[in-house]
Amino acid sequence: MALSKEHLLKVYEDMLLIRRFEEEVEVYAKNGTIPGFIHLSIGQEAAQAGVVDVLKDTDYKFPDHRGHGAIVLSSKPEERKRCMSEIFAKATGINGGRGGSMHVHDLSVRNMGFNGIQGSTVVTALGTAFNSVYRKNDDVTVVFMGDGTLGEGTCHESLNMSATWKLPLVYVLINNQYAISTHYTEAHPQKQLSTWGLGYEVPSMTIDGNDIEEVIEVTQQAVDRARRGEGPTLIEMMSYRWQGHFSGDPAAYRPDGELEAWKEKDPLKLAKEKLQEKHGVSDAEIQAISDRVEVEIAEYVKFSLESPVPKPEDAVKYVYTDREVEGR
């Protein structure tokens, strides 16, 4: 399905925003401003932007550990800088600095956040999907997961239960080839991981996760099916992470030339070519998008750098709902 020019322009801008977001995060992770470790999703923009584009604010979203893009795009534009300041461990962060890169959630748009234990959200998502059935509404749940995460037993349990109960759940399996150093073909016997759904009679397909039009089309079908109460879908989106597993991983396990070959399939490059060749979008229009994104990102970075750090004493808040834990 070809997108309209306006639609393609919109998602191109979304993708550029999250690409630039990640590039800035990388700069500040490398220079030590951002503590801890960071999993960057550069190269996987189409899978994130395309899926979020299809969803409503009331749909439940479970990004994964490589999910900054889905997180940012799920948030309202005015809240996006707080996604970045969370990663910077700042008090203005969307979770007050408690969580950081792996734990950015925003309940106002039903971004339910990630759990540092791989495979955990895959079963949590059963609960939000169940809620839609129980309350008879049409909210859909989307859970992002990686090729490696599929190894967790919870993935089987989740597919089995969602299929049996026809839960409105879409599994977005971003196959970026690797789980840390382990290629997916060394951890699973199948050539395509979408076959995992078939044993549970879950409609499953493998698509080009770098082609935003294909991502949107297939996700839309899966979401529509879920909204109609027909049950879950598993979409394997083939993609590639350009960086190592975490920022700073030299990724020595990749064969020579692999990254360069995937860079040829850059989702942004593909979308830009379509815009220019099929829709006659001018260089000036493309430049205007870049300029807007730069202004936006510069604001996030400035906000993140200037925000205060959280009060250490606040660490004892929110351990229980109805009482505080003793501080120092």
Partner 1 sequence: MARIISFSKALNEAMTQEMERDENVFILGEDVAKMGGDFGITTGIWERWPNRAFDTALSESAITGLCCGASVCGLRPVAELMFADFITVCYDQLVNNAAKLNYMYQGEASAQMVVRAVTGGGIRCAYHHSQCIEPWLMNIPGLVIVAPATPYEAKGLLVASIRNNNPVVFLEHKHLYNVKGEVPEELYEIPLYEAHVEREGTDITIVAAMSMLKFAQKAADEMAAKGISVEIINPRTIFPLDKETIKESVAKTGRLIVVQEGPKVMGYGAEIGAMLGEELFEYLKAPIKRVTSLDTPVPFAPGMEDYVLPHYEDVITACNEVMAY
Q: Contact residues for ligand TPP (CB under 6 A)? A: 65-66, 116-119, 146-149, 176, 178-180, 245
Q: Under the criterion CB under 5 A, does residue 146 sit at the interface with Mg ion?
A: yes
Q: Under the criterion CB under 8 A, does residue 35 sit at the interface with partner 1?
A: yes
Considering the complex, state which of residue 130 and residue 246 has its C-beta at the smaller distance from ligand TPP: 246
- On the 0-12 / 13-18 / 19+ scale of CB atoms within 10 A, 7 is middle
What DSSP letter does each residue of 189-241 carry, written as one string?
Answer: S-SSTTHHHHTTT--EEEEETT-HHHHHHHHHHHHHHHHTT---EEEEEE---
Q: Rounded to whole angstroms, how far apart are CA atoms 44 and 166?
A: 29
Shortest Cβ 252–partner 1 spacing (Å): 8
Considering the complex, state which of residue 50 and residue 97 has its C-beta at the smaller distance from partner 1: 97
Contact residue for partner 1 among 7, 37, 165, 303 (CB under 8 A): 37
Nearest Cα residue to 191 out of 203, 199, 183: 183
Q: Under the criterion CB under 8 A, does residue 181 sit at the interface with partner 1?
A: yes
Considering the complex, state which of residue 99 and residue 148 has its C-beta at the smaller distance from ligand TPP: 148
The single residue listed with the structure tokens 């430049």 is 287
Shortest Cβ 323–Mg ion spacing (Å): 41
Q: Under the criterion CB under 5 A, does residue 147 sit at the interface with Mg ion?
A: yes
Strand partners, 231: none
Considering the complex, state which of residue 22 and residue 24 has its C-beta at the smaller distance from Mg ion: 22
Question: What x-and-dash track marks residues 168-207 binding Mg ion by CB under 5 A?
Answer: --------x--x----------------------------
Q: Under the criterion CB under 8 A, does residue 152 sit at the interface with partner 1?
A: yes
Nearest Cα residue to 216 out of 30, 86, 326, 55: 55
Considering the complex, state which of residue 118 and residue 233 has its C-beta at the smaller distance from partner 1: 118
In contact, 94 and 75? CB cutoff 8 Å: yes
In contact, 40 and 27? CB cutoff 8 Å: no
In contact, 1 and 213? CB cutoff 8 Å: yes
Q: Which helix (H) or strand (E) holds 267?
A: helix 267-279
Q: Which spans of this chain sit near partner 1 (rule: CB under 8 A)?
A: 35-37, 89-91, 97-100, 102-103, 115-119, 148-153, 179-182, 186-188, 252-253, 309-316, 319, 325-328
Q: Which spans of this chain sit near Mg ion (rule: CB under 5 A)?
A: 146-148, 176, 179
